[in-house]
Amino acid sequence: GQNIDQPTEMTATEGAIVQINCTYQTSGFNGLFWYQQHAGEAPTFLSYNVLDGLEEKGRFSSFLSRSKGYSYLLLKELQMKDSASYLCAVSDSNYQLIWGAGTKLIIKP
Amino acid sequence: NAGVTQTPKFRVLKTGQSMTLLCAQDMNHEYMYWYRQDPGMGLRLIHYSVGEGTTAKGEVPDGYNVSRLKKQNFLLGLESAAPSQTSVYFCASTASGEVETQYFGPGTRLLVL
């Protein structure tokens, strides 16, 4: 079957760095997405990786290793507004997105 | 440019009642999707459409029907609501079926008593 695993919840301190991991097993791979979802709101796109390596976008970076079925989202200089759930999703062989359950990130002052 | 909109935002139904959720997008996107999101689970695809007049089943289609009569609209119907259909429903759209960012509507919270 297809499976996306990510931690349920993480806590970090304002101004610090946090890494959210995602492992996947899917039928085919056409890229990995990270979305941010604030409580009660819709998911919004953060990043996309299709090749191995690190993609940097401001305070957020995303890494992919296809051979290991592994990705992480790195958030630097954490701000209180970064408190949200972070969703990992993989585009499978049919270009359908398979979603992880999300990681709830709690930022403490 | 409103993006993706959903109607209604919140609804309470009694078991056995029917309703239709409306999704509209103004980005001229070909592909549209209906997901449900439940606590502790990832988004699950209910139905999707690759263009006007076409629909297909996703991962959890039972108990739902859809229609795409116009390119900009995608309707999700519940013919006989059940408590198991209590969820948050998200509509999304994308420009094509290949690797493209999906844009989400604000969601519809449905409670079935």
Residue B62 neighbours by CB under 8 Å, 6+ apart: none
**For residue A86, which of A12, A6, A30 has the smallest C-alpha distance?**
A6
**For residue B28, which of B59, B55, B1, B57 has the smallest C-alpha distance?**
B1
* Measured distance CA(B90)–CA(B72) in Å, rounded: 16
Specify the 3-state DSSP secondary structure of A98.
strand
Q: Is the per-residue pLDDT at B2 higher than 90?
A: no
Cβ contacts (< 8 Å) between A87 and chain B: which residues?
Answer: 42-43
Average pLDDT on A62-90 reads: 98
- Assigned token pair, B6: 């959903």
Residue with tokens 């440019």: B1
**For residue B89, which of B101, B77, B72 has the smallest C-alpha distance?**
B77
In eight-state DSSP terms, residue B1 is: -
Percent of chain B with pLDDT over 70: 98
Output the pLDDT for position A94. 85
In degrees and rounded to multiples of 5, residue B15 shows phi and psi of: -55, 130
Output the pLDDT for position A88. 98
Q: Is the per-residue pLDDT at A50 higher than 80?
A: yes
Q: pLDDT digits over B27-40, tens only?
A: 999 999 999 999 88
Q: Is the per-residue pLDDT at A62 higher than 90?
A: yes
Output the pLDDT for position A1. 74
Q: B97 and chain A: CB distance < 8 Å anywhere?
A: yes
Q: B42 and chain A: CB distance < 8 Å anywhere?
A: yes
Contact B106 A98 (CB under 8 A): no
Q: pLDDT digits over B53-68, tens only?
A: 999 999 999 999 999 9
Q: A51 and chain B: CB distance < 8 Å anywhere?
A: no
Strand order of the β-sheet with B4-7 is B4-7, B19-25, B73-78, B65-67
The closest CB to that of A42, out of B99, B101, B107, belongs to B107
Question: Shortest Cα distance from A79 to chain B (angstroms)?
Answer: 24
Q: A31 and chain B: CB distance < 8 Å anywhere?
A: yes
Asked whether B32 and B93 are in contact (CB, 8 A), the reply is yes
